[in-house]
Chain A
Amino acid sequence: MKIPATLDDRFRAAAEREGLVDVAYDVAESPLGDLLVALTDRGLCRIAYRPDEALDELAAGFGARVLRIPRRTDRVRRELDEYFAGRRREFDLETDLSPVPAFHRRVLGELARVPFGEVTTYGALAAKVGKPTAARAIGGAMNRNPIPIVLPCHRVVGANGRLVGYAGGLDRKEQLLRLEGVAL
């Protein structure tokens, strides 16, 4: 029997109120297509271009109590909307990278300092974390970046200036860089 929408909302709100949720998420529309936005109590933990696949991965990383709770994602969605509308250059959000291996976390920390509208290279980022020959490992860390857009892996390009790769697809990387006014 189909359940009334109000009942569904009430259950989700009660689950959140009782603190029973490991990960709260929602799916948001964006110029890049649907984005899954997910948070733990510690902060933003995932933005995913393929919402369906992300749920299992969230359950494995943070606990199986993964539940859609739109209200919890309001602030992240607002900042994303502002960014896509060209009214925001920096995100002011706590993040939770607890399942990310330590080296990747360091790389993502460095990545977070690459400013809006600028690009860097895999090699330059490798040098920043003290592993100048590890450009390939940096590529791996970018490829598994759990919070694209907010942690701006789209701002990392090849030494020759070519876009090279993006887990969300090169067309999305290009779209993000154009939005930031980077000449391609």
Chain B
Amino acid sequence: MMDAVIPPFERFYCEHREEVFGLLVRRLGRERAEDAFQETFLRALRAYAALRHGRHLRAWVLTIARNVAVDSYRREPPAVELQEPVEVPRRPAYAELEHLTDDLPPTERAAVVLRYAYDLPYAAIAAALGSSEEAARQAASSGVRRLRKKEPA
């Protein structure tokens, strides 16, 4: 299956860099977006060797970008007026599990979706979240526990 092959990083980077930059500019403003852009692709590169297949890479890198934006926003909310507030992100990547995971905290939601909808290894999820592998594992499992509690008995 061709799409399962992990592409050379250069191709992955060239395919997604403009969309990632656009997202970050909308969320953080032009100036802050530059640092966030570099951080996003460094996180992706750190986890790249741990990927097991090449599917859903767009969803993965956009998730990384959103998390980098959230981290940056938490450190210091941008002074400029934003086109797209960080608190209500668009989440095309989550579409399939959105209705289930909507109420989870952002980190748990990202971990659950990346793990169970996109079948990514924890090393890749950890890179997306900017956390350790163990923290990614815990976020996914506490997300799943939270979802189970919500299920009607």
Contacts and interface: CB of A to CB of B under 8 A. Distances in A.
Contacts of B13: 67
Contacts, number: 67
A15 interface: yes
Contacts of B5: 56
A10 B22 CA distance: 18
B8 A66 contact: yes
A3 B21 contact: yes
B10 A11 contact: no
Interface string A1-21: 111100110110011001011
Interface residues of A, number: 25
Contacts of A2: 18, 21
A20 B11 contact: no
A170 interface: no
B48 A64 contact: yes
Given A58-B8, A59-B6, A59-B8, A65 B49 contact: yes
A10 B38 contact: yes
Contacts of A67: 9-10, 13, 45
Interface of A: 1-4, 7-8, 10-11, 14-15, 18, 20-22, 25, 55-56, 58-59, 63-68
